[in-house]
Amino acid sequence: MREDQTSEMETYLEIAGILTDDREVLARLKACFENPQRYFQENEDRYDERCIDLEDGQETIRWIGLVDELLESKDLVELDWQSDMEEFFYQLEPLAQKQGLHLNQAWLEEDGDIPLWARTLDQKWQSQGFCLAAMDIDSDSYVLFICQRAILGELVVLSKKINQRFDYAKNM
C-alpha cells in the first residue's frame, strides 16, 4: 500500500473512531477502508440504492461505507431535504437523548426546513457545547449527527485531508 493510501486510511479510521465506539462497526469500517473494492462487492445492494458503482472510486466507496455503517448502528440519521418537522424531530430525538440533550418539538417552526431547524438547535444547545453536524454525501439528503462543537472542528480538519466534508448542518 502506498504511503498516501496508508495516510488516507488512518484518517478514515480516526474519523470513524470519533463517530462511534462500537467495536463491530469499527471492524467493518476498517475492512471497508483497507479494501474498498471487496467491501463494495460484499455490500453492493447499499451502493446500488445510491446509484454508486466501482467506477465512482475508492474515496466515494469509503465515505459512503462510513455513512451506511453509522446509519445502521444509529450513530447518525439521513433525512430527505423535503422532510417535515415531525420527521426531523422523530429522527433526531434518540440522538439527542443519547447525548443527554433536551429536544423540544415546540422549538421548531412547522413550515421551516432542515437548515433552519439546525440553526435553532445549535442556538438551544450552544451553552452545552453541542451542535447539529452533517456529512456531505453530494446528494439532496442530509446525513446528520449531534456532537460537541470541538469534535466537529476536528472532523472538519480531518475530512479536508481526504477531500470530504463535515460541517454544521445549518450550512449544508
Return the C-alpha cell found at 16.
470513524
The residue extents of the domains of the chain are 1-75, 76-171
Spatial CB neighbours of 123, under 8 Å, sequence gap ≥ 6: none
Distance CA 144, CA 59 (A): 20
User: Is pLDDT at 29 greater than 80 in this prediction?
Assistant: yes
DSSP calls for 4-50: HHHHHHHHHHHHHHHH---HHHHHHHHHHHH-HHHHHHHTHHHHHHT
| pLDDT score for 3 | 56
Distance CA 14, CA 16 (A): 5
Question: Residue 2: which pLDDT band, with cuts at 50, 70 and 90?
Answer: low
pLDDT in tens, 135-152: 999 999 999 999 999 999
Instruction: Please give the distance of CA 47 from its chain centroid, rounded to a whole number.
Output: 16
- Average predicted confidence (pLDDT) for the chain: 96
| First-last CA distance in the chain | 34
